[in-house]
Amino acid sequence: MSLSPAERYALSRQQRRQPRLAQFAAGLRFDLDPFQRASCAALDEGRSVLVAAPTGAGKTVVAEFAVFLAMNEPDAKVFYTTPIKALSNQKFQEFVDVWGAEAVGLLTGDTNVNSSARIVVMTTEVLRNMLYADSPLLDRLAYVVMDEVHYLADRFRGAVWEEVIIHLPEAVRLVSLSATVSNAEEFGDWLQAVRGDTDVIVSEERPVPLEQHVLVKAKLLDLFDSSGQAATHRVNPELQRVARAGGRSITTRSERGRRGGDRGRFHQPGQGSARIDRPEVVALLHGKHLLPAIFFIFSRAGCDQAVRQVLHAGVRLTEAAERDEIRAIVEARARMLRDEDLAVLGYWEWLEGLERGVAAHHAGMLPAFKEIVEELFQQKLLKVVFATETLALGVNMPARSVVLEKLEKFNGEARVPITPGEYTQLTGRAGRRGIDVEGHSVIQWVDGLDPEAVASLASRRSYPLNSSFKPTYNMAVNLVDQFGRERTRQILELSFAQFQADRAVVDLARTLRKQEESMVGYEEAMRCHLGDFSEYAGLRRRIGELERQASKGNPTHAQRERMQRELVGARKAMRAHPCHGCAEREQHARWAERWWRLKQEHDQLSRQIRTRTGQVAKRFDRVAEVLEVLGYLERDEHGALVSTSAGRILKRIYGERDLLVAEALRQGLWDGLDVAGLAAMAAALVYEPRRDDRGEQFKLPRGGFREAFERTTDVWSGLDDLEREHRLAGSEQPSPALSSAMYAWARGAGLGTVLTDTELAAGDFVRLAKQVVDLLDQVSIVADAEVGATARAAIDAVRRGVVAYGTVA
């Protein structure tokens, strides 16, 4: 990027003013973009920052600057939080490369490396738990990076982001990195309201421009009209013609050339669907130098099938040297896996695909395999990846082209068109910075495709960020325990959920907090060594009031008499008060007066908030009622809500079924369970049943599980009634669908057996097992000695083989 003289001058001035930023920038192998420079400058000047920029724009640099700033102070710390473990692993490696292994830690629930390091990468949940536990690791924390902060909108996990943002100590600077959400300003306003000084930096410029195409048969047409000078948003007239003709107006020349006309099963020109098959699309992109490409296919089975199809057609996209390199990398990484597991995981077929430059990428795969695919892709060894949309999130894996075979996906219930936000996110993977002059998106033509609709998908700004925050049981005990009921309600008023519902309340609650702080200061200033000055001030105020009353209106004789008597009494009491003789009396009185006025305002504001209090605090009230009924919270002698010993169990149990787990532990329902039985129980509690599982009969593990599960379900049902009574939605009934598989696994069964029994993909099983370990870990901390020991043994029994296999530590 070349700068004008004026820009150069401005830059050099900034560099003099901000030597730390200049030093940081000098160490980079590229120049900072304006949005990066502005974001870093805000941090350098001590403000928090929200950066919203497209995929691949380079938001990480801002986080790296925060790390740089922290490391330039004597012993400041910085936490880097991400929503995804794979992303945490990636960042951890990057920081280790720059700062050395001693300086960097990693905490993801199943990995615990160097937790007291000055730079710690962690999942957002880990940080939330630390905040509630008031962990000593939070000492000297100066910066927190929240990568992919738009996860805040996630229906299941989003609340955690808000909890962290609300509870971080005030001195911590926050670096929030977000995709280009359409309401970044509103989100920024909220951050400003809860965290103080926050700059909002929005960049909508893609780092590499995007060329968009529609693939009709074997012809690649531009989506937009490129005949004019500048890029327009007019749909390519040729594409319009094709659309009107239903794809039939494309000539057959290219088809014949490519296919040799020997595939009778394909439609003849002019006969229906105008699509070529995948191997042909791959060959076509290869011929046009548009590889590497990511094909987004919205189903895992579809991805796997696509790989097979392409391999079957004999596609080979790698050179001999590349194949050697691929094999070496994969073998080095997979050495830890047992031979029998390799077979179950389809390792050989997978390796065959990798060597030919083709792979799938989706959540059904073993996480470690997914990471290998990412690594090979980043090293330019893979040319074609068939991926589900999870790839569009976070992981840095850009390609030259992105192919969309369809513009709709299955959302679990129905086929729905992809949204403009999703389209932006997916095509955000097209175009590698520093490698590609431009990125390409290729939409494959289907009958009835409307080019205008596609064009509008492509040119609109992304999706809005909406809060998914709601108070949970665990959150409620934690907050009440730390802050008491009133303060908790105020804190909940600070949530983005409430902010969006009623922007004003957040401002009021903040003012309230400020007022309270000032009042404490005033109390300090009016403190008198001779006695209780506020009592004295109260007397003076009363006298003033009585004098005012006496001077106005027409009181009856009797009234005047009574006022007079009271006035005389009050004056006497005032003169007798020890503070009356204080040399600094009038000075104290001025502070007392200020305190009083502020108190009036404060009370009025509190009333205002109470009447305006929205759903969040109301939901909290209901949650607190349920907890009080069950004895997790109780009233102390002053009527204040406090947590009980049972509450202290609930405080450490996180997740959808927090209350049920706490209740089961408290009632000793799992006391007799053996190691595998407890693992099976944990599986029933973390598993979210699929729609078609319900009402089905499952094979249940032997031993005490059956009875313990029945009793747990009874407790669930009691809770469900109670929640309904208190107008709360309650949790899903626990499902033992995967319990016997987890039971078998904990008793040493092979991966093959477990996967066949459950019809689970390896990736799903590993994810389930890790959630089980997570829950067992919580249980091991709060349960009594016996169950605690069983839980610890169960963790060891579950965390073995592919479950323990990862790329880090």
Ligand X SMILES: Nc1ncnc2c1ncn2[C@@H]1O[C@H](COP(=O)(O)OP(=O)(O)OP(=O)(O)O)[C@@H](O)[C@H]1O
Closer residue to ligand X (CB): 179 or 751: 179
Pairing of strands 119-123, 104-107: parallel
To ligand X, the closest distance from the beta carbon of 21 in angstroms equals: 14
Closer residue to ligand X (CB): 201 or 506: 201
Closer residue to ligand X (CB): 118 or 206: 206
CB under 6 A: which stretch of 51-59, 635-643, 681-689, 728-736 binds ligand X?
A: 51-59
Inter-residue contact 35 to 201 (CB < 8 Å): yes
- At a CB cut-off of 8 Å and minimum separation 6, what does 237 contact? 225
Tell me the H-state helices in 633-784.
Answer: 645-650, 658-666, 675-686, 705-725, 739-746, 751-758, 762-782
- Residue 375 near ligand X by CB under 6 A: no
Interface positions, 136-195, toward ligand X (CB under 6 A): 179
Measured from the Cβ of residue 311, the count of other Cβ atoms closer than 10 Å reads: 16
Q: Is 270 left (phi over 0), alpha (psi -120 to 50) or beta?
A: left
Of 624, 669, 620, 665, the closest CA to residue 645 belongs to: 665
- Residue 391 near ligand X by CB under 6 A: no
Closer residue to ligand X (CB): 398 or 701: 398
- Residue 247 near ligand X by CB under 6 A: no
Question: Which of 55, 444, 478, 490 forms a contact with ligand X (CB under 6 A)?
Answer: 55
Closer residue to ligand X (CB): 53 or 297: 53
Closer residue to ligand X (CB): 35 or 533: 35
Closer residue to ligand X (CB): 56 or 801: 56
- Residue 424 near ligand X by CB under 6 A: no
- Residue 740 near ligand X by CB under 6 A: no
Closer residue to ligand X (CB): 55 or 444: 55
Closer residue to ligand X (CB): 157 or 487: 157
Question: Which of 53, 67, 675, 744 forms a contact with ligand X (CB under 6 A)?
Answer: 53
Distance CA 563, CA 576 (A): 20
CA distances from 236 to 240, 269, 445, 499 (A): 7, 22, 14, 43
Q: Take residue 508 and report the two structure tokens written for it.
A: 């009021």
- Residue 204 near ligand X by CB under 6 A: no
Closer residue to ligand X (CB): 25 or 166: 25
Tell me the H-state helices in 687-730.
Answer: 705-725
Tell me the H-state helices in 527-584.
Answer: 533-551, 557-576
Q: Is 534 helix (H, G, I), strand (E, B) or coil?
A: helix
How many positions of this chain bind ligand X (CB under 6 A)? 18
Interface positions, 395-414, toward ligand X (CB under 6 A): 396
Helix (H) or strand (E) holding 177: strand 173-178
To ligand X, the closest distance from the beta carbon of 178 in angstroms equals: 8
Closest residue to ligand X, based on beta-carbon distance = 58
Site string for ligand X, 428-467 (x = CB under 6 A): -----xx---------------------------------
Distance CA 278, CA 73 (A): 55
CB under 6 A: which stretch of 29-37, 570-578, 600-608, 630-638 binds ligand X?
A: 29-37
To ligand X, the closest distance from the beta carbon of 77 in angstroms equals: 22
CB under 6 A: which stretch of 57-65, 96-104, 487-495, 543-551 binds ligand X?
A: 57-65
To ligand X, the closest distance from the beta carbon of 773 in angstroms equals: 28
To ligand X, the closest distance from the beta carbon of 378 in angstroms equals: 9
To ligand X, the closest distance from the beta carbon of 60 in angstroms equals: 3
- Residue 52 near ligand X by CB under 6 A: no
Distance CA 378, CA 391 (A): 13
Closer residue to ligand X (CB): 36 or 613: 36
To ligand X, the closest distance from the beta carbon of 393 in angstroms equals: 8
Q: What are phi and psi of 199, to 5 degrees?
A: -90, 140
Distance CA 546, CA 574 (A): 14
CA distances from 60 to 56, 131, 210, 389, 433 (A): 9, 24, 21, 21, 14
CB under 6 A: which stretch of 31-39, 259-267, 559-567, 785-793 binds ligand X?
A: 31-39
Question: Which of 39, 48, 60, 441 forms a contact with ligand X (CB under 6 A)?
Answer: 60
Distance CA 750, CA 754 (A): 7
Radius of gyration of the chain (CA): 32
To ligand X, the closest distance from the beta carbon of 36 in angstroms equals: 6
Interface positions, 255-274, toward ligand X (CB under 6 A): none
To ligand X, the closest distance from the beta carbon of 433 in angstroms equals: 4
CB under 6 A: which stretch of 59-67, 265-273, 609-617, 765-773 binds ligand X?
A: 59-67
To ligand X, the closest distance from the beta carbon of 34 in angstroms equals: 9
- Residue 61 near ligand X by CB under 6 A: yes
CB under 6 A: which stretch of 53-61, 404-412, 449-457, 777-785 binds ligand X?
A: 53-61
Residue 770 DSSP code: H
Distance CA 173, CA 177 (A): 13
Closer residue to ligand X (CB): 51 or 107: 51
Helix (H) or strand (E) holding 178: strand 173-178
Closer residue to ligand X (CB): 29 or 638: 29
Closer residue to ligand X (CB): 55 or 236: 55
Distance CA 269, CA 251 (A): 8
Of 644, 331, 590, the closest CA to residue 476 belongs to: 644
Question: Which of 25, 52, 59, 306 forms a contact with ligand X (CB under 6 A)?
Answer: 59
Closer residue to ligand X (CB): 61 or 681: 61
Inter-residue contact 223 to 214 (CB < 8 Å): yes
DSSP string, 661-681: HHHHHHTTTTTT--HHHHHHH
CB under 6 A: which stretch of 55-63, 96-104, 244-252, 654-662 binds ligand X?
A: 55-63
CB under 6 A: which stretch of 25-33, 301-309, 440-448, 716-724 binds ligand X?
A: 25-33
Closer residue to ligand X (CB): 199 or 255: 199
To ligand X, the closest distance from the beta carbon of 49 in angstroms equals: 14
Closer residue to ligand X (CB): 53 or 250: 53
Write the single-letter amino acid at 236. Answer: N
Q: Take residue 476 and report the two structure tokens written for it.
A: 């409620």
Burial 617-648, CB ≥16 within 10 A → b, else e:
bebbbbbbbbbeebebbeeeeeeebebbebbe
CB under 6 A: which stretch of 9-17, 50-58, 291-299, 493-501 binds ligand X?
A: 50-58
Q: What are phi and psi of 41, to 5 degrees?
A: -60, -40
| 706 burial via Cβ count (<10 Å: 0-12, 13-18, 19+) | middle
Distance CA 737, CA 690 (A): 10
Closer residue to ligand X (CB): 61 or 684: 61
Distance CA 28, CA 585 (A): 62
Inter-residue contact 79 to 454 (CB < 8 Å): no
- Residue 57 near ligand X by CB under 6 A: yes
Question: Which of 105, 247, 394, 451 forms a contact with ligand X (CB under 6 A)?
Answer: 394
Write the single-letter amino acid at 466. Answer: N
- Residue 58 near ligand X by CB under 6 A: yes
Question: Which of 11, 15, 22, 33 forms a contact with ligand X (CB under 6 A)?
Answer: 33
Inter-residue contact 439 to 210 (CB < 8 Å): yes
Measured from the Cβ of residue 436, the count of other Cβ atoms closer than 10 Å reads: 18
Residues near ligand X, by CB under 6 A: 30-33, 36, 53, 55-61, 179, 394, 396, 433-434
